Amino acid sequence: MALMLLYWMNTKPKFIPSDRFLKFLHDLPDKDRAKLIGTISLIESHELHIAIRQLWVKKIEDNLFEIRSIQSSNIQRAIYFHIK
């Protein structure tokens, strides 16, 4: 799994990808990469509770979350946490 940070800019979340995440993203097939980037964009444009309700995000622990992106039968997951 890849790791990212999330911080809040005004009222919108913004992801900060780690080098490890960028390598993970680069290694994905084109369709999977596009779907994951699209899911991240959706999360950034909505509030967290909407992302959880839409199953784009799963809360793992207090400040640890997982992005879930599904393309056909492939599931990409990326772990992230919030900073303020």
More confident residue, 45 or 12: 45
10 Å CB burial of residue 40 (0-12, 13-18, 19+) is: buried
Give yes or no for residue 4 having a pLDDT over 70. no
Question: Which ranges of 11-76 would DSSP assign to H, the alpha helix?
Answer: 19-27, 30-45, 48-53
Model pLDDT, residue 11: 57
What pLDDT, in 10s, does the model give residues 25-83?
A: 999 999 989 999 999 999 888 877 888 899 998 989 888 888 888 877 888 888 887 76
Model pLDDT, residue 3: 58
Q: What is the pTM of this model?
A: 0.79
Model pLDDT, residue 7: 54
